[in-house]
Amino acid sequence: MHNRKIEYSILELALVPQGGTIKQTLNNSLALAKTAESLDYKRYWFAEHHNAEHIGSSATSILIGYVAENTKRIRVGSGGVMLPNHSPLIVAEQFGTLAHLYPNRIDLGLGRAPGTDQLTAQAIRSDFMKAAHSFPQEIAKIQEYFSLENKNSKVRATIAEGTNVPIYILGSSTDSAHLAAKKGLPYAFASHFASTHLLNALGIYHQEFQPSEFLDKPYTMAGVNVFIAETDEEADKLFTTLVRMFYSVLTGTKDALQPPTDMTRELLELSQNPSIFQMLKYSFVGSKQKVKKQIQEFLAQTQVDELIAVSTMYSIDDRIKSTELFAEIMMEINGNQQLQNTNGNDYCNRD
């Protein structure tokens, strides 16, 4: 186990529920961010998606500003900016601007995937494939634009120079683990839908990590699906919304978020479909007591420094309740760990 505080955060996709509107969804995102801030969540990140009728997180930097403006302490950022879609110069200018408006609160998570279909990716940026293959070089450009040393360059993002915007490398396979380790940057794995390579990727990152001016030791984050309610049965019911969503994605129907139903035999069998089961492997569903045990086992297995929770629920009230219960779990886990350290009995942390 860990001998330090395990941070906990939220990844927001701004999914539009059936019968809902994008305006309501974005307002609910802010309400959830305010709740998270009151419960000591570390950060609130927006994902980037395009050409998706029922997803509101397309203009990531604008949503970051919206939440940062209406909160006080919580870090707000991208989980992530899909860099091949964007000019590194424009990304640096956008996040440099945010850093001036909300000092020491803005994160820049960078991913390689398009966050959409290939046709839309080409519409966003005609040289998308070239940019995707140049992901390491594109990150280096952003780092250069943020550096004070770039003031003598002919091409500058002047508003970004010298601002404090930590960069995180995102990944769903092992490729970005090598890159994050080589560059000495924190690494966030999308295990809330891409579970297959999580342990291998974390191992690669730790083994190959090279300290940098940004980070002196490895720092890892893992995405997990979190559905907590007063009872296991109620949580199972809430989870049916996510099962139906993944089925919708796999079948190409891409429906709006469906309201929860009882966990029928049909839905249970659907959740056990090999494709869906693999994607939802790191889903923690149940009462607070049940999920706490699942979280403890996951932390012991992965040794990550931070959990970033995804709660794909139809109702904002259910999401807020689950967010409150997850915070209670993390506070208890961190409190127990601190007590172990104080008593000198933290034998689990010895190599």
pLDDT tens readout for residues 89-124: 999 999 999 999 999 999 999 999 876 777 877 787
Q: Is the peptide bond before 80 cis (omega within 30 degrees of 0)?
A: yes
pLDDT digits (tens, 9 = 90+) for 17-30: 999 999 999 999 99
pLDDT at 323 over 90: yes
Q: How does residue 341 score in pLDDT terms, banded at 50, 70 and 90? A: low
- Choose between 269 and 182: higher pLDDT: 182
Q: Which amino acid is at 316?
A: I
pLDDT single digits (tens) 185-212? 999 999 999 999 999 999 999 999 999 9
pLDDT above 50 for 346? no
How far is 237 from 323, CA to CA, in rounded Å? 17
Q: Does domain 7-349 have CATH number 3.10.20.30?
A: no
Give me the residue label for tokens 């945010």. Answer: 98
Helix then strand then coil, % of the chain, to nearest 5: 50, 15, 35
Q: Are residues 291 and 326 in contact, defined by beta-carbon separation less than 8 angstroms?
A: yes
Could you give the 3-state DSSP secondary structure of residue 1? Answer: coil
Q: Looking at residues 72-82, what average pLDDT do you find? A: 96
- What Cα–Cα distance (Å) separates residue 329 from each residue in 75, 226, 324, 339? 21, 12, 9, 15
Closest CA to 278 of 194, 221, 222: 194
User: Do residues 257 and 15 make contact, with C-beta atoms less than 8 angstroms apart?
Assistant: yes
Nearest to 221 by CA among 171, 147, 183, 148: 171
The interaxial angle of helices 135-146 and 175-183, nearest 10 deg, is 30
Q: Please write the tens of the pLDDT for every residue from 258-278.
A: 999 998 888 888 888 888 999
Mean pLDDT of the chain: 92
- The residues pairing with 201 across neighbouring beta strands, listed in sequence order, are none
Q: Is residue 10 a contact partner of residue 309, using CB atoms and an 8 Å limit?
A: yes
Which pTM was predicted? 0.92
Token pair for 197:
């390579």
The pLDDT assigned to 67 comes to 98
Task: Return d(Cα 127, Cα 72) in angstroms, integer.
Answer: 39
pLDDT band at 328, cuts 50/70/90? very high
User: Across the strands, what pairs with 306?
Assistant: 7, 221
CB burial of 212-240 (b: ≥16 within 10 Å; e: otherwise) equals eeebeebbbbbbbbbbbbeeeebbbbbbb
Between CA 7 and CA 5 the distance in angstroms is 6
What mean pLDDT is predicted for residues 167-174?
Answer: 96
What amino acid is encoded at 344 in this protein? G
- Mean of pLDDT values over 209-227: 98
State the pLDDT at residue 250.
82
Q: At 233, is the pLDDT very low, low, confident or very high (cuts 50, 70, 90)?
A: very high
Report pLDDT for 157.
97
In this prediction, residue 340 carries a pLDDT of 56
Q: What is the pLDDT of residues 274-305, one digit of tens each?
A: 889 999 999 999 999 999 999 999 999 999 99
The alpha-carbon radius of gyration of the chain (Å, integer) is 20
d(CA 160, CA 174): 30
